[in-house]
Amino acid sequence: MNREEKEKAVKELEDKFSQSVSSVFAEFRGLNVQSMEDLRKRSREAQVEFQVIKNTLAKRAIQSLNLPGAETFFVGPTAVAFGNDDPITPIKVLNDFAKDKPQLVLKGGVIEGTVVFEDKVGALAKLPPKEVLLSQFLMRAQSPLTGLVNTLSGPIRALMNCLKAIEQQKA
């Protein structure tokens, strides 16, 4: 790879790092070609871009983005998963794959401009999907309103029950 190709590759990585919502780094030492193809397929299905990167080029790209601590991810064979829509999707794809293939080790990532390390990436992988979180939030936001409506309608309901009981007694 000559100098011009390297500069072009660094520029492409800079663009990907800056445009993606999240970038998750993993070490894939010990995975065979078939496993890597399976991981790429799962990534495509989840609309995550998965790419094996050269550490020296990735370090140069990350340095230009001023993300302190991110250069520690570039040791050993490194792959990165870029997420453009949901920041958690790349983490979930890699984490789910790592459950089946323990050779894949999550190193950390850059999520919405913040460097996160292995422990936080593991915690984020355990979060439920975005749709589930939204529905849980809406249910909790709706709960006090439902309780208020039930409380306010209680006396009216009691009055109606009394009137029905009186009607039945007279009949």
CA 156/CA 171 separation, integer angstroms: 23
Sign of the CA dihedral running 115, 119, 121, 124: negative
Residue 81 pLDDT level (bands cut at 50, 70, 90): very high
Where do the domains of the chain lie? Answer: 3-127, 128-171
- Cβ proximity of 78 and 26 under 8 Å: yes
Tens-digit pLDDT profile for residues 89-130: 898 999 889 888 888 888 888 888 888 888 888 888 888 777
pLDDT at res. 44: 92
* Superfamily (CATH) of domain 3-127: Ribosomal protein L10, N-terminal RNA-binding domain (3.30.70.1730)
Q: Rounded to two decimals, what is the model's pTM?
A: 0.72
pLDDT at res. 126: 82
